[in-house]
Amino acid sequence: MSESTNNRNIKKEHFSNLVAVAYSDNVLNNEEKEFLQERANDYGLSQDEIHEITEQAETLKFIVPLNGEEKEEQLADIVYMSMIDGVVNEKEYEICLKIAERLDFKQKDLDYIIELTKKLWSH
């Protein structure tokens, strides 16, 4: 597999993970839609790819990235996605924690990122 194909697959996987979190509370608000669209645009995904991924949102399986930088970026994006409506509900937190653990982070790392994100938003 070429590097560009692999990079594209990684971005598609990252987007799929964000969609899974966005749909975890069964509500997709405008801020979440906008954030997903921004990420899809950043990753160069077509409308067909976006539609294909969002159509299977409830059955998406989380895919673990291979390098540390991608893991940190995914966790930060997932925390952002869960907080975008102003509240991290219990189900969103549980999903974030499962994802954090799959990314080799601990609960304290997740809590730190959530607190950091809250502080950044309050300024």
Q: What are the chain's domains?
A: 3-122 (1.10.3680)
21: nearest Cα among 32, 10, 31: 32
Instruction: Give the DSSP H or E segment for 35.
Output: helix 30-42
Please say whether the dihedral angle defined by the alpha carbons of residues 84, 102, 2 and 52, taken in this order, is positive or negative: negative
Q: Which residue has the higher pLDDT, 27 or 39?
A: 39
Q: How far apart are CA 65 and CA 85, in angstroms?
A: 26
Coil, helix or strand at residue 64: coil
Q: Give the pLDDT score at 4.
A: 63
Helices (H) and strands (E) in the chain, counts: 6, 0
Q: Give the pLDDT score at 2.
A: 53
CA-angle at 11, arms to 10 and 14, nearest 5°: 85
pLDDT in tens, 54-70: 888 777 766 777 788 88
Backbone angles phi, psi at 42, to 5 degrees: -60, -35
pLDDT in tens, 97-123: 888 888 899 999 999 999 988 888 775
